[in-house]
Amino acid sequence: MESSTLANAIPFPGGKNILVALEESKLYIYCDLSQDLGTNSSGKNILIATTGGSKPLGATNAFLGLNVFCNITEGPKLTDETTSKLREVEIMGYYCTWQVKGHTLCMTIDFENSWEKLATTGNSVVLASSGGNKAVGKTGILCGLNCHVPLGKKFLMEKLSTIANNDFVSVGDRVELNEGFVVHVESETQVTLHCEYEYTRATRRLAMLPVVIEGETSLILTLRFVDKKFRSEEKAEQMKTEFAVLSPKWKNLLLRYGPNHNGNNGTGTVDFDLRFDPTQFIGRSFSGKSLTVSSSGGWCSIGNEIFIMFNAHKPAPRLSPAEIRSAVQNVLESRRVEEITSLSLKKVEILVVTALNLKGSSLADVRGQVKEAVKAYIGSLKLSVPFKTAKKAVNKAFATRKRDEFATLSLKTLLAEVSSELGAAHWEEETLKAHVKEAVMQCLWGDVRRIRGKGGGLRECGTRLSEGTTER
């Protein structure tokens, strides 16, 4: 671990507790193992350092993903003994090494000798990888690293220097980037991006260097130049001299054409401004790990055979157990008891993910907490006075019968007996039916403790019967 590189390291854009430094073809990645960023979204691990998903490495076309964490029940053990195996530089995985000095973990990727192997997903080419989550000595800490390039993209090693040039922009700043891109943070609620660039038929793609606003909101803007027109360009050809929404897919995003915006036969000048409010957010990303602040909704034509794709996002706050419990309660309390008992856990999970404005792969992160919250909610229903009373009546009906009578006992008959026992005014018929069905299931399948009598008959299900009940 070179002390000089650590001294010159800078925060990794969008990351937490991660510093990076560059020395020729080598990228050094540092994190403080003694840090505690709180629990992750599943509530099972303590985050120590994270990139918050895969983040771009400057203008190289490569992305870096890193997570350092430990189990919440154990916590990290940082001593000379637990880190002794990593006092010297060791191979971490594929084309990356690591070392621990004190409480600092240093990982190194040498892009001069990178891997460039097709990932198992088939969607990217891996440059370096830890090969899964690796134990950091005997500290109880795990670390997972992945550096890749999207399939079809070329890794531009000559642009490694741009990794250290990710601009951090604050309110009032106006920063000129590459290729005619300018970012102006005019106020806390208004950011304007300007692009003015002369293009030719040879121009195929233009990308703005990554930029981060106030240290948390990352901006990504890419232009694509094509040879043929698309139908969607008809609306775009109506030049917007004032800021306006260009497409129904746009969220928190406005565009205004500049006076020099023109083009013909694949050559011309692209000149436009984009504007958005960095204090808004339109939902979580597909992974659920970041909040989308502004988006073009994918590629969108802006006329003259030019398409743009824009996205502004920031790390999403972790979902607290209280938020998940509240979401589960909101999903379930709006439904009748009989509907709740018929819902599968998978269906409830999907409803909760939707209520929390999460998507697809976010389900795995909250599944455990949703399951526990559902069990607690159902438990509160079972312990309510109506269910306990219905359960007691079902127990009594079973206790007056021999075991071989259970197979011929219909729900209709049992419901009639329970209704007679309780009186018709206790609940609506459907609600009572749901309670009775649940009580029967508990008795027959042992969801609640069941005790068999000496003669083999069912003496008691769930709550104990009152004295004087006939025992068979």
pLDDT higher than 90, residue 283: no
- pLDDT value at residue 2: 58
**What does the pLDDT look like over 328-339, one tens digit per residue?**
888 887 777 667
Mean pLDDT (whole number) for 450-464: 43
Between 424 and 351, whose confidence is greater?
A: 351
Taking only the tens place, the pLDDT of each residue in 198-233 is: 887 777 778 887 788 877 788 888 888 876 544 443
Share of the chain above pLDDT 90, in %: 19
Residue-level length of the chain: 472
**pLDDT value for 192:** 95
Judge contact between 125 and 118, C-beta under 8 A.
Answer: yes
Q: Give the end-to-end CA distance of the chain in Å, rounded to a whole number.
A: 79
Residue 276 vs residue 425, higher pLDDT: 276
Instruction: Please state the rounded mean pLDDT for residues 452-461.
Output: 43
Q: Within 10 A of 91 (CB to CB), how many other CB atoms are there?
A: 9
Q: 3 falls in which pLDDT band (50, 70, 90)?
A: low
Query: What's the gap between Cα 133 and its chain centre?
Result: 18
Pairing of strands 167-169, 211-213: parallel
pLDDT of residue 295: 92
- For residue 444, name the pLDDT band (cuts at 50, 70, 90): low
Residue 425 — very low, low, confident or very high, per pLDDT cuts 50/70/90?
A: very low
Alpha carbon distances (Å) from 92 to 15, 16, 97, 225, 271: 21, 21, 5, 41, 47
Most confident range, picked from 13-17, 20-24, 215-219, 355-359: 20-24
**pLDDT > 70 fraction of the chain, expressed in percent and rounded:** 79
User: Is the pLDDT assigned to residue 123 strictly greater than 70?
Assistant: yes
> Mean of the per-residue pLDDT values for the chain?
78
DSSP string, 343-369: --HHHHHHHHHHHTT--GGGHHHHHHH
Q: 179 or 88: whose pLDDT is higher? A: 88
Say how far apart CA 146 and CA 370 lie, in whole Å: 29
DSSP symbol at 322: H
Between 365 and 343, whose confidence is greater?
A: 343
Between 188 and 361, name the one with better pLDDT.
188
Q: Please say if the pLDDT value at position 446 is more than 80.
A: no
pLDDT tier for residue 166 given thresholds of 50, 70 and 90 = low
Highest mean pLDDT among 107-116, 259-268, 360-369: 107-116
Do 95 and 113 touch, CB atoms closer than 8 A? Answer: yes
- Grouping H, G, I as helix, E, B as strand and the rest as coil, residue 434 is helix
pLDDT at residue 26 is higher than 60: yes
